[in-house]
Structure 1
Amino acid sequence: MTAAEPLRPDLARELIDRATKAAARRAKRLRNQLDAVQLGQDRHADHADAKVLRRVLAEHDWPGHRLVGPEAARAAWSLALHADDDADFQRAATILLERAVQGGDARIQHWAHLYDRTLVNSGRPQEFGTQQAVTATGVVLCPVRALDALDQRRASIGLSPIATGLEKVRLRCARDHPVDDSSTVVLAAVA
């Protein structure tokens, strides 16, 4: 076995498959392309994805680069990031992801995004400015603690300045997810 091969390629395939399908569902949901039945099926699939990831975390801790490889570790992060209906699970995943980062087995940027998401979902200001609300009027940054030091905190974990990150999100959202309902609010991540 080479160093690049994950220890659990089977688990890697499952995580990547689930995250790929979840991303496709989210894209349709953001474009308002799902009817009521499909929305219900979509939510059921999201819960099933979180349940699978919960099992993986219970058995292996965070599925990091060594266990599943970088692509599947990113997939696991995406599933946790979008498990917004289960705040306790997201917080637990954040703790395990932080441990993986400390052990050199995961990306610190993934942890920052998930950490910010848990803060925003609990009504608290985020730390790294990775979360915005996408509305019909545009992309707005969710509240941030100590905004004057945000770019310093972002630089400390390898993220671009907030102005650059926001512009990327605005361009991506305008291209990929046109929103035409003024009541629609969707969390988006800033790179």
Structure 2
Amino acid sequence: MTAAESLRPDLARELIARAAQSAARRAKRLRNQLDAVQLGQDRHADHADTKILRRILAEHDWPGHRLVGPEAARAAWSLALHADDDADFQRAATILLERAVQDGDARIQHWAQLYDRTLVNSGRPQEFGTQLLLAPTGIELCLVRAPDSLDQRRASVGLSPIAIALEKVRRRIAQDRQAGGSSTVVLAEVA
């Protein structure tokens, strides 16, 4: 299903556009390509994205596959995932996304990543090992509850074993650094 075939192609287009712009801003931030004014504008744009997504959630619940199509549903998830400055909103979005997953209208992997992000942002151990820190020395998995059963929990939501996922991230980071990427410490996700 494309944005044009969804029930609300207008929402689909807006979500996709906002998520693409947000991803471009994050890429520039990660590469330290923004001055202080641009960083302020960047934060303002992130807040605007959260405000728009908050309005969409209030009017439609989670914008899932049926309402906006898979690509726009992924865009909504990305915007919620990166709304780190609004923990209450992020937790509310996680609940709505979980309901959409239960209704077969969203991907469980998106819920697992957003759920982990809310846990990490509140200082608690994550469940599925999807959140990590990128540091100058490499990557660190954020604290995980019961690490011995992590791969079983990951499998229960359709995620690959943690060793495989971390190796993919390491390769992606190495390629980015070869291309001139930054070694700034940031929170990132691993699927």
Contact kept, 8 Å, 1:22 with 1:46, in 2: the verdict is: yes
**TM-score in terms of structure 2 length:** 0.95
Cα displacement (A) at 1:5: 2.1
Per-residue CA shift, 1:167-187, capped at 9, x if unaligned?
Answer: 11122222236334xxx3211
Identify the residue that residue 179 of structure 1 maps to in structure 2.
Answer: 182
SS at match of 2:123: coil
AA matched with 1:179: S
For 1:162 and 1:137, the matched residues in 2 are separated by 19
Corresponding residue for residue 81 of structure 1: 81
1:66 counterpart residue number: 66
Aligned partner of 1:157 in structure 2 is: 157
For 1:22, the equivalent position in structure 2 comes to 22
The alpha-carbon deviation at position 135 of structure 1 amounts to: 0.7
Q: Secondary structure at the match of 2:49?
A: helix
SS of alignment partner, residue 110 of structure 1: helix
TM-score normalized with structure 1 length: 0.95
Could you give the per-residue CA deviations for residues 148-180 of structure 1, whole angstroms, max 9, x where no partner exists? 000000011110000011111122222236334
RMSD: 1.5
Q: Is the 8 A contact 1:135 1:179 kept in 2?
A: no
Residue 97 of structure 1: aligned partner: 97
1:13 CA displacement: 0.3
- The worse-fitting range, judged by mean Cα deviation, of 160-169 and 103-112 is 160-169
For the residues of structure 2 that align with 1:25 and 1:148, how far apart are their CA atoms? 36
Structure 1 unaligned blocks of 5 or more: none
Q: Which amino acid aligns with 2:46?
A: D
Displacement, 1:62? 0.2
User: 2:190 matched to which residue of 1?
Assistant: 190
Identity of aligned residues (%): 83
What is the alpha-carbon distance in structure 2 between the residues aligned to residue 152 and residue 97 of structure 1? 22
| Corresponding position of 1:32 | 32
Q: Which amino acid aligns with 2:112?
A: A
| Structure 2 unaligned spans of 5+ | none
Q: How many residues align?
A: 187
Structure 2 counterpart of 1:62, one-letter code: W
The runs of at least 4 aligned residues of structure 1 exceeding 6 Å deviation read none
Give the equivalent residue in structure 2 for 1:107.
107
